[in-house]
Every structure is written in C-alpha cells, then in structure tokens.
Structure 1
Amino acid sequence: MSKKQKEALVFVVNVGKTSKEKAENETESFLDKSKNIIKQVMERKIFMRPEDIVGVICMGSNKTKNKPGMENIQVLKDDLLVPTWNLVEEVLALEGTEKTSNWVEGLHVALQYMKENCMGRQHIAKIMILNDFQEEEDIMEQFSAGTIKAEVLDSVSSELIIIGKNPLDEAHRKELNLSEKLALHVCNMVDGVYEEIDKYFWETRFYKNPPVNPSAWKCELRIADVKIYTSTYVKVTEPPPFPSWKITTGENSVGYPPDGGNDVKKTRELVDRYRDITDPEEAIKGYKYGGKFIPFSEEDVEVTKFQGTTKSLIVRGFVKQEDVSIEYWFGKGCHVIVASLGSERQFYSLLTAMRDLGLVAIVRKVYCANSIPKMGVLFPRMQPGEPACLVHVSIPFAEERRVLKSKPVKTLAKNLSEEQKQDIEDYIDAFTLPPNEDGEVELFNPGSFCDPCKQYKWDNLSHRALNRVPLPPMDKALLNLISSPESLIQKCKPVVERLKTWVEPKVEKPKEKFEIGHKIEEIDQETQQTEENLIRAAEEAEHEMKRKEDLFKEISEATTAMDEDLLNEM
C-alpha cells in the first residue's frame, strides 16, 4: 500500500439567520446538523488522520475577519491547523446570529484562505460548504457560474463539496431556488460533489479506514513453460486492530509533573537463577524445553533461517472446483490477480478455459526471496461490469489441517408432523431478508456496515475527550446494525405464536408458606433429632471399644499361658 495523502480541508458553515430555523417535525436546526458533521469529520481526522489540517469559516457571523474584507464572514483561525479537541469545542459553541451572507462570498474567502495557507504544502485541498441556500434572489442574480468556475480552477487545486438542505436530483429540479440552481451548476462545472445534509450526516457517522492507492504485487504466473505476467491486489483482509491504550507522559498531560517531583524510570536487568545481575553482553538467548535450558546464539539463528526460495507463483495442477471444499479456505483474506500489459491474451484464454471446464488452479506462492512457500487456489471470476480476474485464496498444508469429530446429533425432524414442518418453513420465510429492486439482499450485506463494537469505542473516546460525565449508552444507530429489522419482527410474530404451542407448559406447584413459629418449631425438632443420633452413635462407639478391650485381654492371657508352658517343658 502506498502512503496516505495528506488533506487540507476548509469548512465554510452558515451561522446566519436562516440557519437557526427548524423544519417541521425536526428537533435540530440546519446549524446544529452542520456542527455535528464538522465534529464527526474532525474526530475521524484526530483519530485516524492526525497529519491533516483544517480551517473553519463562518458565514453570517457578527464579526468580519477575512483578508478580502467580505462583510459578516469570520475566519476562526489565521492558519490551517491540525484538528484538536479545543477546535471541536469551538465549533460546537457556535451560535446562530441575525446577520446574513451568501455562499459565493464565503467560497471566495475560502479560496483566498486556502491559497495563502496551503501554497507549498503537499496536501490535497478541499473546501466543504454547509449552507441551506436561502439567500435572496436579487443578491444571487449578481453572480454567474462561469466567474465562480474560473476562480475555483485558477486557485489551488481544490475539490469542492457542497452540503445542502434539500436534494438536488432530477425529481426536485423544478422546486429549486436560484441559489440552489447556481450551486448545482457550479458543482457540475468543476466536478464537485453535492450531498443532502441528512444523508451526509450518516455517511460521516461511522469511522472508516481512509482509502489508499493500492500497490500491486507483480509476479509471473508459471504453468509449466508458459509465463503470464500478472499483478496481484489485496481484495479482502483482516481489519487493523483497535489502537492500544497508551499513557502519555508529556508536559501537556494531565497530572504532569508527578506530585513527588521525580519521574518514573524503568530499567532492565538480567539475573540468573541465583538472582545475581548479569552483564547483557555475556548473556546468550535460548529456550527452555522440559526443564532444560537450550542456548541459541546469533550464529544458530542465522543457520536456521529459511533460505533457498525465490519470488514465484507456480501452478501445480488443476482440479474440479467442487473438489476444493470451503473448509480448506483459510488465511487473512483474499487477493485478485489481473493481467499485466502484454499478457492479456494468454490470461483471458486461461480464465475462459477454467470457467468453461469448471476448474480451479492449485498454486505455490513465494512472496519474496527466502520466504516460506504457501499453497493457494485460484478461482476464475468473469462477471459483467467487473474486470476479469483470478481470485486467490490460501489453502493449508496437511500439518496445518485440524479435523474435528462432531458428536452425532439426534434429529427431531422425523418426529415432527406436517403442520409443524410447515411452521418451521413459515418461520424461515418470515425472517428472510427482503431483496431490493436489483434482486440482491441489501440489509446485512457483507462489507456494507462497520463493526459496532469498534465504533462504540471511538464514540466513547470522543465523548471522554469532550465531557467529564459518565459514558452514554450505545447509540441507537449502532444498535440497529446488529438488531433485526422491525418489519421482520412484526412479520414473524404470528409464526412465533404458533411455535409456542409446540411446548407444553410445565405446571409448577406453588411453594408452601410457613409461618415463623412453624419454622422455628421445625428447626428445633431437627436439632433435637440430630442430638439424639449423636448420643446413640457415641454409646455404640463406647460399647465397641469395650468389646475390643475384652478381646485383647483374652488374647494376652492366652499368650502368657502358652509361654509359661513352653518354659516348663524346657
């Protein structure tokens, strides 16, 4: 993967008179929605793109602070800065005013601001305008789309993103006012993007890894003596782990310097079995097996390194696709392999033959020289609207395979009646996700929504950075990602009621209630009975001991008599 490109983003937000108004059946004004969007974008930059820089410009402000001198337009910071939580708090503290301005002048100020502060920096310049486009027509008539286009194209290469109140699609073109028509025209002329504010809010609601330019793994695909030059790209892989929790010790940390005045210092010492400190230079690394230490020097490590392989992708054979069971697929993800320039004819001929014959290729892959070889399987994929490619999935060696023997499960299907079988089918049909217009399942589509647990952690970090109150519960939007749709729940209720009739409810006898006096009397009876048993056991033990003593006395007397008889005979 190539390095992420840095961004310079300037927000142009309307805080004027019209931005305070709330539409019917809505609890937030346009300004509130705009502040939430700016907050969400800055949060993601703080967490995931800390090298990006941002700026904020307010239209319709009570203050006038900008180089071109446009009235009622305020630049919050003189320079583009790395987003901080203090800047987020300033944005959230913005309040609506009674002043007015227009987005064309705001765009002019943003372009000049971007040119002054972004010139010479290796950043992608972006301008985001958040406006409800309620300007008066006599004011907007003095501007032309051609003039605005020329100013945008002549400035620093800036991408234009406009966030508006209403949709500007074909179905709503007749309802647009002059300001909205001008904004849409400018967007089309400069290849900008227009988004409805409610829709864009949900697009920025979830944390997503920023896109990067893919870097190809180029290697020739060898089939006997045939070489096909290919490029491999990562298609699916494991997501990066959540960043580890770290304790900061900088001068800007809370509680720095420590109360004692002395910093905590960590030292590393090597000790032997007698707790004597040993010089690290005299120590040899090793392993412990079976209670015995086995030294392993650096020379031993060099000798045991795997060597002798070269970068390669070699086909070992072809098998039927159904012979490669899904249980053998493993690895961190999959890759797509496409043809490099000059090998298209050979590559597509191979794909067509594999598809027509229903075959897949078993390959041996060595990523780089002296790396461990791995086995994989190549599936041909030729779909309309997609580039023809081979999909590479790893498969295990024999030693890596684990066979799990499952216990036999007694099925109840044979004991079900026809009516009960029909209820099961109805339950499955009721909980089946409905298809969309294209015939594909839209809800819970793999890769279409983010990990709710990881999103919740990001939300908690953001909340703790801005507040000192207890953490809130998980947001409803995150819960909806892992909850069954309400429509399916309502649809399956009649079927669930029928399934409940299968189970015969167990009649539980009510527990007897005892009065306090009755409980005490019962406990006394049990205690008395226990004492009697102990006394009886003690008497029996005493009787047994007495019997053993008498028996021992008899044996002793008999032995003494025998000894005396023997002495007399001698």
Structure 2
Amino acid sequence: MAADKEAIAIVLDVGPSMSESPPGTSTPLQQAGTAITMILQRKIFANSKDEIALILFGTPNTANELADGEEYQNITLARPLGLPDFDLLKYVQNEIQPSNISADFIDAMVVALDHLVKHTEGKKFGGGKRLILFSDLGGEFADDQLDDIVNGMKQAEVQLNVIGPDLDDDDEDEDDRGAKPAANGHSKPKSAQQRAGEAMVKHLLSQVEGESYSFSEALPALSYFQNRKVKPTPWKCNLEIGNSLQIALAGYVRVVEQKAPSFKNCYAKDIHAEVTTSRSYHLDDEASTEVEKEETAQGHRYGNTLVPFSEDDIANMKLKTVKCFKLLGFTETKNVKRHHFLGNNVQSFVAEKYDEAAGVALSALIRALHETNCVAIVRKVYRANSDAKLGVLSPHIKAGYECLFYNEIPFMEDVRQFTFGSLPLEPGSELNKKFSPSDDQLRAMDNLIDSMDLSKTSQGDEEEEEALKPKLTFNPHLQRLYQCLQHKALNPDDPLPELSPIIADYLKPPQEVLTNCQTHVEKLKEVFPLKVVVKKKEEVSAKSMFQDKPIGDVPASKKPKLDDGALGDMKQLDKVKVTKVGTVTPVEDYWAMLRRKDEDMFEEACKQLETVIIDIIMGSFGAQSYPKAMECMKALREAALKHLEPGVFNKFFTQFKKEMEHYNKMVLFEMAKNSGLRLIDNEECEESTYSKDAVAEFMADDVKKEKKEEEEMQEEDADDLLDQL
C-alpha cells in the first residue's frame, strides 16, 4: 500500500548571480542542478507516487499561467505537476542553461504556489505540499506580495524549504568584504542585494515555519538513494493474558532487511520483451522420460527409501492453529540472550488506535516490565494454520511514546550447542601460561576499544553523540547499485562510473575514530610484536639421495631408471605384482596396475578405482575420508588423459553428480569442483565429446543442494549406489 503522496514545486534560479563562483569551485547553478537531480533520482528509484513541478525564473522567455503584461515575467513553468521520470531527469541535467536575465524570486514563488494550489485541488495528497526554492538570492525582488505569500502558504498548508546560501553565517567569521571563507580558501563576497534577499527569506521562513539549508548541507544529505516509502500496515491482534484479559494491539514492522532490487531477464534485441521460464519433470532413467506435475508427489527420506506423501497427507500432518498472541509468562531480561533473537524483522506493538482502555492497560504492562527488569514470553500465530512462533516482548519507553518490541526466539531444536575451549583470559592463567596475555597487552587492548567507541564521538564543538546511527547509515551495496543503475539508464553505452566518494566513506571508520586510535594501534604493535617464522629446510628424500648418484660401483648413467609416476620411485623397488586396487593406498595401487607391462590393465584398473571411490565415500566417518576420494578421482582423470580415454572419466564423473544429487550428497560434488575436478573437454583431449561450453554448463548447473549433518552422512548405505558401475 503506497504511502501518502506529496506535491512538490521546485523553483530554480537561473539568473546571472547563480553562475558566479570563485575559481576552482562549482557555481550555485551547478550545485542546485546536482541537488535537484538527486531529489529526482530518489523519487524515481523509490517508485514514488509524489508529483513534482519545475519552475525556472531568470529565463529569457516567459511561460506561466499568471503572466500578464509586465507582471511575472521571465518565469517559465518547465514541467507541470506530475510523476518524475527520466525525461525530467535528462532535462535537468542537459537542458537547463544559465541566463544573464534577473527575475524576482518572490514572483516565482507566487507562480509556484498558484500552480500547487490549482493542480492539487480535488486530489488527495496526504503527504502535504512543499515548495523548494533554489537560489543564491542575488537578484532583485519586490516585497509587496510578501503578506499574500505568507497567507497563501498557511491557508494551503504548503511547507517552504530554501536551499542556497548559509543563512546562519556568523558575521564574525566573515572578512572585510562580507564573504565567508570557503573550504578551499576562496570566498565569494556577498552583495548588498544578496544580503537584502537573505533578510527577506529569513523573515518569510519565520512566518511560515519553513527551513533553510546551504548547498554544503543539502548535497551530502541528498546523495543517498532512498527506498520506496509505504504506508505501514499493522498486524492487529489481542494480547491474551490468562483466560479473561485481552489487550487490543497493533504491530508494526520496525526493522527489516532491505533487499536489493531484483534483475529481470529480457530479450537482448528487445529490452521490453521479458523472458519467461518453463519447468518440466523427468524420470531419472536413460530416456529421461517426461512426466506431468500432477503425477509427482512429495516425499520424505527414511534411510534410503523415499516415503511419498499426498497433498491430503501433508495437509493433515500440519499442526492446526488459530491466530493468537498469547502471553505464556515472564522472565528476567538477562535470561534472554541477544544471540537468541531470530526472524527477519523486529516489530513494535502499540495499543490499537482510539482504544483508550487498551492504551492504559498496555502502558501499565510496559512500565511494570521496565521497573522489574523483565520481559514477556509470548506465543504468536500470524494467521490460522500458520506455524506457531515463540517470541519475547521487551519494554521501550521514550519521552513521546511507549511500546513493546517483539523479537522471535528459538525453540530447543533451533539452538546449536557448541563447546569451545577456554581462552587464557587472566594473566598467569594455568590453562596456557605460554599464551596468557600480560598486563600491558590487556591494557593496550582496553585502550584501543575505548578509543574506537562509536557511541561517544563528537562533531567539532558539538556534544558527543553516537556514530553510524541506523537512521543515518545507508547500505553501501545498495547505494552503489542505485548509482550504477541511474548511470546506465542515462548513459547506456558508457562504462560504469567510479565509486562515489560519499559511498566510499561508508567503507571506512570515522575520521575522528581513526585519529583517536592511532597511538593505541602503535602501542598494540609494540606489545604484540610479530616475528618472521623461518621455514624449516625440507628433509632430504630418498629420491634426491639416489638421483644422479652411482649405486655401488655402477656409474649413474648405467643405473636403472626410476619411473616418475604418481606411485613414486621408491615404490618401484617393491617387486610384488599389484593385481587389485585396495582402499588403503588406492592411488598407488592404481598407478602400479597401469605400469604393468605384461598386459593392458587400464580398463580393469579404472573399474576397480571407481568402485573404491564409492566405498571410501560411503564408508567415511563423517567427512574424514572425502579428501582421499578426491585424490582418487584426480588420479582417474590424469590417467584418462594420458591414455587418451576421456570418456572413462567423463562417464564416471557425470554419473557421480547424478548419484550425489539423488542421495542428497551434493556437498561432495561441490568439494570435487573446489578441488579442481571437471569434465575433460575437447580442447584438453580431442577424443572428448564435450565442448568447453558444455563442460562449463555442466559444472554450473543449478541443482538443489541439501546438506546433511555428519551423523546422517555416516548412516548412508552404499549397497545400491552406482550399481551400473
């Protein structure tokens, strides 16, 4: 449900004074254009229903509804009230040109006010009406209509914002010319006309309770993209206390993770043609027989057997519930730990609107919880036949309101019990004296934490306040995404822009924190010295000892050559003929069989190694033997390449993926991918029937992965796995 929309009239000065600026700085017109662009971007990306009108004054031409004779001249209604779009955005960026003609900003405000009133009549604008003036106030003006503007704004309930010079400049900070120093050392003197305009605007703002901002204040505040505002929809319920007491409540989502806008697939030759997705179901047989969705059923695994459940079974199996919000009891706040909070949002519960009795009862409950330092445990069912949730209600009291915060908390099955070894927290701990921190190390770390405390930062001479407040901190990922979307929409053929400095600042600690902690970081380096660990020399191997050296009296050139296979040279000294690939040293046995000169053992050795791989996987205690299986598959792939038989490995690896999917062990296929295993393509071996693209598609195939606990992996049975092998 859309939030109450707002009607906004933007009044922009394009006169000569807006094009004057000190060397090396942006002109007021450029800054105003940037600010208006940011306002429009916010509205467009938020899919806002707010309507915006653009009025320019100081234009060579005149185009407005009030122009008559010599009145309201050089004022142009560039865009009537309507939804903002990219056409308006392009107009602001490319078509607004500076002028050498000065116009009356009071007349321009009258034109904007008249346009707002006429074009909002009979329409619902629950967000109100707003007039935003962008001007350095350097042009001439007449104050004979000032009272009419004040009365008209009050009567039409129009809010006034002025963005331009800093109206709160301290006179003592200005130089002899009446100019306040700029950040880069340059300054622009204020003319007498500009000072008169500022005095007029100050009076006007005081009469209509408006607000003013300088460009230096407005631009950073407008640099962030905002999401669409929606009208909050409450979840209405009764808090049930016992059998006879109920409090009518309304719950509103207070905090929820903001998702990035989703990308849609479209046909490249026609970006307006969206691509649809179709799904079909096939049997896991040689013909991949297609079946209708109606002929399929869901099932749960019971050992190696799938137990089917019909839709009626699933419906009857579910817990029958009714909507409720029932109090189960109270507990001390310390008993509910922060890491117990679950769910994807936090809700605020207040009394239902216009229910005074509920408000009094809820206020009593909130204050009682606060005074006793307790929280309430509740059972929540959002709607009939939905899952029951367990939650905690915490009191929240502010000067202007009271409410209860709701967080979901876990059931016993949701909690993971992990046991970790203790750390030597105290100096001289008997647990591990060698690594126990000293007093200087503990003190240095304490000082670093204190210096980087975000809850006690100050801005200049202002009082200490919290840094990175949630309501003032935007997600840099979303901001960067919106920045790129806006750029590509306006410049589809250009590369993506550089990261905005304002967004980049979010990825860094506050400058004040960096300054405060610098000495403590240096102290930390001093008390926690880092030493370079010298790598131990490798032990001399048997191969290096005998290589290129004579054996007895036989010269090196006459000694027997040792094979460089994966088995290793010293293994060749063993004269026992290997006839079977075992599970103890499968890779060594496999290579030994392949080296036999008396007969071709390639096909038989590969079959035996494939069987051993499955035996290792299914007999593994948890994931303990999985690395050995990966090494076996690497050996199988290497041998297939050497013997120009890629089909042997490709067939096994393809079947391996299917069986891992069937037995819900796709974690093993992911492990194989991470180990560098992949199908052999025809670029590696011409005998392969797989192209490089086909291999990439096979490895990137999006299949459903279901990770099981180590105990479940141990119980899997290998009797019927890969029977075809």
- Using the size of structure 2 for normalisation, the TM-score is 0.62
For residue 277 of structure 1, report the CA deviation from its aligned partner. 4.6
In the TM superposition, residue 334 of structure 1 has moved relative to its aligned partner by 2.3
SS of the aligned residue for 1:76 comes to strand
Give the superposition deviation at 1:113: 3.1
Letter in 2 for 1:148: I
Amino acid at match of 2:484: N
Q: 2:418 is matched with which residue: 392, 404, 419?
A: 404
User: Within 2, Cα distance between the matches of 1:312 and 1:90?
Assistant: 54
Counting only pairs closer than 5 Å after superposition, residues 194-205 of structure 1 correspond to structure 2 as 194-205=212-223
Corresponding residue for residue 471 of structure 1:
496
Q: Note closer, same or farther for the CA distance 1:424–1:67 as it changes in structure 2 (3 Å cut).
A: same
Match of 2:362 in 1: 347
Q: What is the aligned partner in structure 2 of residue 558 from structure 1?
A: none
Q: Which residue pairs with 2:587 in the alignment?
A: none
Amino acid at match of 1:360: V
Query: 1:317/1:50 Cα in 2 relative to 1: closer, same or farther (>3 Å)?
Result: closer
Partner of residue 482 from structure 2, selected from 458, 469, 478: 458
Aligned to 2:401: 387
Q: Which residue of 1 aligns with 2:184?
A: none
Inter-partner Cα distance in structure 2 for 1:345 and 1:378: 17
Q: State the match for 1:536 in structure 2.
A: 559
Larger displacement relative to structure 2 (271-280 or 38-47): 271-280
2:275, 2:348 → 1: CA distance?
Answer: 50
* Corresponding residue number in structure 2 for 1:553: none
Letter in 1 for 2:19: K
User: Is residue 134 of structure 1 aligned with residue 138 of structure 2?
Assistant: yes
Task: State the shift of 1:364 in Å.
Answer: 1.4
Describe the shift of the 1:30–1:413 C-alpha distance in structure 2 as closer, same or farther (beyond 3 A). Answer: farther
TM-superposed deviation, 1:374: 1.4
Q: Which residue of 2 aligns with 1:152?
A: 153
1:11–1:411: structure 2 CA closer, same or farther, 3 Å change rule? same
Q: Distance in 1 between matches of 2:512 and 2:154?
A: 49
Which secondary structure does the structure 2 equivalent of 1:151 belong to?
Answer: helix
| Ranges in structure 1 where 5+ consecutive residues have no aligned partner | 510-522, 546-570
Residue among 444, 454, 473 paired with 2:468: 444
- The range that moved more, 490-499 or 397-406, is 490-499
CA distance in 2: counterparts of 1:82 and 1:477, whole angstroms? 28
SS in 2 for 1:67: coil
Q: Check whether the contact 2:252–2:347 (CA below 8 A) recurs between aligned residues.
A: yes
Contact 2:48 2:229 in 1 (8 A): no
1:423 equivalent to 2:444? Answer: yes
Shift of 1:396: 1.0
Whether contact under 8 Å (1:284, 1:297) holds in the other structure is no
Partners of 1:306 and 1:370 within 8 A in 2: yes
Shift in CA distance, 452/130, structure 1 to aligned 2, threshold 3 Å: same
- Counterpart-to-counterpart distance in 2, 1:284 and 1:435: 61
2:307 maps to 1:303: no
Residue-by-residue CA offset, 1:396-438 (whole Å, 9 max, x unaligned): 1111111222244455844444444443333333333444489
Bigger CA drift: 526-535 or 205-214? Answer: 526-535
Pairwise CA distance, 1:12? 1.2
Corresponding letter in the other structure for 2:164: G
How far the C-alpha of 1:493 sits from its partner, in A, is 3.1
Cα offset, 1:388, TM superposition:
2.8
Q: CA RMSD in A?
A: 3.9
SS of the residue aligned with 1:365?
Answer: strand
SS of equivalent to 1:471 = coil
Within 5 Å, give how 1:57-76 maps onto structure 2.
57-69=55-67, 70-76=72-78
Report 1:17-96 matches (<5 A). 17-23=16-22, 27-69=25-67, 70-77=72-79, 79-93=80-94, 94-96=96-98
Cα distance, 1:341–1:474 mapped onto 2, change above 3 Å: same
Task: Look up the match of 2:628.
Answer: none
1:100 match? 102
CA distance, structure 1, for counterparts of residue 259 and residue 271 of structure 2: 32
Name 2:255's counterpart in structure 1: 237
Distance in 2 (CA, whole Å) between partners of 1:507 and 1:243 is 48
The 8 Å contact of residues 167 and 198 in structure 2, kept in 1 or not, is answered as no
Q: What's the CA shift for 1:83? A: 2.5
SS in 2 for 1:232: strand
Post-superposition CA distance 1:67-123 (Å, at most 9, x none): 22222112223x434323332122112221111112221122223333454444444
2:203 pairs, out of 172, 182, 185, with 185
Residues 140, 178 of structure 1: 8 Å contact kept: no
Provide the secondary structure at the position in 1 that maps to 2:81.
coil
Q: 1:264 to 1:346 in 2, by over 3 A?
A: closer
Supply the distance in 1 between the matched residues of 2:494 and 2:325 (Cα, whole angstroms): 57
Structure 2 residue identity aligned to 1:17: P
Q: Deviations over 1:129-172 (max 9, x none)?
A: 21111233xx323332x2112333566x6443322322349999
In the other structure, the counterpart of 1:328 is: 340
- The CA deviation at 1:60 is 0.7
**Distance in 2 separating the partners of 1:90 and 1:267:** 42
Residues 284 and 296, structure 1, Cα contact 8 Å, conserved in 2:
no
In the alignment, is the contact (CA less than 8 A) between 2:488 and 2:496 conserved in 1? yes
Contact 1:270/1:278 (8 A) holds in 2:
yes
Gap runs ≥5 in structure 2 = 179-193, 429-435, 536-543, 563-569, 576-725
> CA distance change for structure 1 residues 97 and 278 in 2, over 3 Å: closer, same or farther?
same
2:15 touches 2:139 (CA, 8 Å); kept in 1? Answer: no
Alignment equivalent of 2:226, drawn from 199, 202, 208:
208
Q: Look up the SS of the partner of 1:342 in the other structure.
A: helix
For 1:263 and 1:497, the matched residues in 2 are separated by 57
* Residue 360 of structure 1: aligned partner: 375
Offset at residue 188 of structure 1 (A):
4.0
Provide the rounded CA distance (Å) in 1 between the counterparts of 2:572 and 2:334: 82
Aligned to 2:673: none
Cα pair distance change 1:148/1:168, threshold 3 Å? farther
Shift in Å, 1:365: 1.8
For the residues of structure 2 that align with 1:424 and 1:277, how far apart are their CA atoms? 64
Give distance in 1, aligned partners of 2:388 and 2:571.
78
CA shift, 1:459, in A, is: 0.9
| Structure number with bigger Rg | 1
Confirm or deny that 1:6 pairs with 2:18.
Answer: no
Q: Percent identity?
A: 23
Moved more, 54-63 or 498-507: 498-507
**Range 346-355 or range 325-334, more displaced:** 346-355
Aligned residues: 514
Contact 1:128 1:162 in 2 (8 A): yes
CA distance in 1, matches of 2:86, 2:341: 45
- Matched residue, 1:167: 167
Contact kept in structure 2, 1:161 and 1:192, CA below 8 Å:
yes
- Note if 1:495 corresponds to 2:520: yes
Aligned equivalents of 1:186, 1:544: Cα separation in 2: 102
Asked if 2 retains the 8 angstrom alpha-carbon contact of 1:220 and 1:227, the reply is no
Rounded Cα–Cα distance in structure 2 between residues aligned with 1:541 and 1:476:
62
* Structure 1 position 34, deviation (Å): 0.9
CA distance in 2, matches of 1:322, 1:267: 52
1:221 paired with 2:239, answer yes
* TM-score (structure 1 length as normaliser): 0.78
Distance 1:327 1:212 in 2: 30
